[in-house]
A and B are shown apart, each in its own frame.
Chain A
Amino acid sequence: MTFSIIARCPRTGQLGLATASYSVAIGLYSDNAIRANTGVTLTHGFPNPRNNHLAIALLAQGHAPSHVLSELLANDADGDYRQIALVNREDVAVAHSGAKLRPWAGHRIGKGFVAFGDMLSGQKVVDAMATAYEAADGKGLDEQLLAALEAGRDAGGIVGKQGRLPERSAAMTVWGSQRYNEFDLRVDLHDRAIDDLKRIYTDYKPSIAYYEARAKSPRNAVPAMEFADMLKKQKETT
């Protein structure tokens, strides 16, 4: 009941993920999913919350993604229920979709990315995510990830026993070279979580540079309220 994409931007080296789910607060399972200059991973389906930390630690030791994946499965009696994806800093991508995930479940591996999900309306969901991700090439990893989520939703999204299920939570994260994310947005409980994520993203993006600048040079900072008013005016005039 989740569809996700994890990716590394081959131009910038940024690592990112985007995910949407019927479950509440799906971003909880994105914790520890990324380490700068190391890789990105996610375990969904029936998540195993310890996997992210372990996977990133193994990638950091230098293991190949395929080896890390087999370690995660060997470490887990319920591997058939897990859906796991990894991309390392050399753009090597691997994925596992366990046989006991609720159908349709599967993944599509591309150059430096994996689109995957379970309880989807079909293969077309991950195909649409991959196509949208590739089509947005050059727009920045954040835009690409968001485009992939929207395409997954528009291609049929999540389906339960009674038919289509809403995305109730969503998350997206992008890391650069630092020990903390560049971008990390969440919607934890909403009727249309991807729409809400887009709304927040659109408002948030112009403020990133502002918050960085004011911390580096607090003596010259424009007050937060004045900056917010300025953004609001810009939005109204465009």
Chain B
Amino acid sequence: MTYSIIARCPRTGRFGVGSTTFSMACGRRYESARPNVGISKSQAFYLRYVDPLALDMLAQGHTPQHIMKVLEADDPDFDYRQFGIIDRESNVIAHTGPGCGKWAGHTVGPYYAAYGNGLAGPQTVAGIVSGFLKQPDAPLEDRLLMALEGGRDAGGQMSKGIPRPERSGWIRVIDRLDHPEIDVRVDLHDKTVAELRRVLEEFKRCRGYYEDRCRHPSEAIPEEDFASRSAAKAA
């Protein structure tokens, strides 16, 4: 059980992934997003090597549609996989095999895909999409977070009729550089999506300071001074 959104920001071209699940440490999967190439994020009964393979094929010039056919032909258990792929032209494709259980499904939009398995129902995916579309002018990372919040508020995950908590979550945004702009994680928490918001907001308060400190270290103020100033401002 997991629900995710992958997207390419139509304004900036940045790629982003937001994901939350019952399993721990879902954000360990850095290999699913590659700068200037795209995102391939698999889940349900996923094999770790599939995302790098799909991204290699994207980088070679294959379309997401073709990649899906290749993955299917190469996998006797394709019925158990769920994934979404988006390329740098915003071509999107998603797959939910019938073996992914109830309820599982996806919605593909013009520059995003929302999908999940072990969900309360189609309302979870609808909640992800409406959260994502709520503030189209917001930065991509905020939209991804609103998408996860929308999925949670619409019912989130469920198995055997019992709601299941999100225990880990992840938001990653990449631009043209080899290192990500944003990568925040919650690996094990009983209110993961709320904790992810807390971490993302604090990280965004620090982000400008961190970037300046890397670029112009000789002008950087001590971080403990920055932290107390930023706390005073917040109060």
Contact = CB atoms under 8 A, between A and B. Distances in A.
Interface of A: 1, 22-25, 27-29, 31-32, 45-50, 52-53, 78, 81-82, 100, 102, 160-162, 165, 178-181, 183-189, 199-200, 203-204, 207, 211, 214-219, 221, 223-225, 228
Interface stretch (B12-20, B86-94, B142-150, B179-187): B179-187
Interface string B25-51: 101111100000000000011111101
6 contacts: A24-B206, A180-B29, A180-B30, A184-B28, A185-B187, A189-B198
B214 interface: yes
Given A31-B183, A189-B202, A225 B159 contact: yes
Contacts of B27: 184, 186
Given A32-B178, A215-B45, A25 B223 contact: no
A162 B217 contact: no
B22 A188 contact: no
A217 B220 CA distance: 52
Nearest to B164: A225
B1 interface: yes
B199 A189 contact: yes
A76 B19 CA distance: 35
Interface of B: 1, 22-25, 27-31, 44-49, 51-52, 77, 80, 99, 118, 159-160, 164, 177-180, 182-188, 198-199, 202-203, 206, 210, 213-214, 216-218, 220, 222-225
A195 B99 CA distance: 38
A188 B24 contact: no
B188 A204 contact: yes
A147 B213 CA distance: 30
Contacts of B164: 225
A52 B22 contact: no
Given A23-B223, A203-B24, A219-B80, A180 B48 contact: yes
Grouping DSSP codes into helix (H, G, I), strand (E, B) and loop, the A interface class, with mixed when no group exceeds half, is: mixed
Given A102-B222, A221-B45, 8 more contacts: A22-B223, A25-B199, A78-B216, A162-B224, A179-B49, A186-B27, A188-B184, A188-B186
B218 A100 contact: yes
A47 B203 contact: no
Given A49-B214, A181-B28, A215-B47, A200 B178 contact: no
Contact of B30 (A31, A82, A162, A211): A31
B186 to A, nearest CB: 7
Contacts of B217: 45-46, 78, 81-82, 100
Contacts of A188: 184-186, 199, 203
A103 to B, nearest CB: 12
A181 B30 contact: yes
B23 to A, nearest CB: 7
B210 A50 contact: no
A225 B28 CA distance: 20
Nearest to B187: A200
Contacts of B206: 23-24
A23 B220 CA distance: 14
B158 to A, nearest CB: 10
Given A207-B23, A219-B77, A48 B28 contact: no
Given A24-B203, A185-B187, A204 B77 contact: no
From B22, B182, B203, name the one whose CB has the most chain A CB atoms within 10 angstroms.
Answer: B203
A184 B25 contact: yes
Contacts of A100: 217-218
Contacts of B198: 189
A221 B225 CA distance: 52
Nearest to B213: A46
B151 to A, nearest CB: 18
B95 to A, nearest CB: 14
Q: Top 6 A-B pairs ranked by shortest CB distance?
A: A184-B28, A81-B217, A46-B217, A218-B80, A218-B45, A53-B178
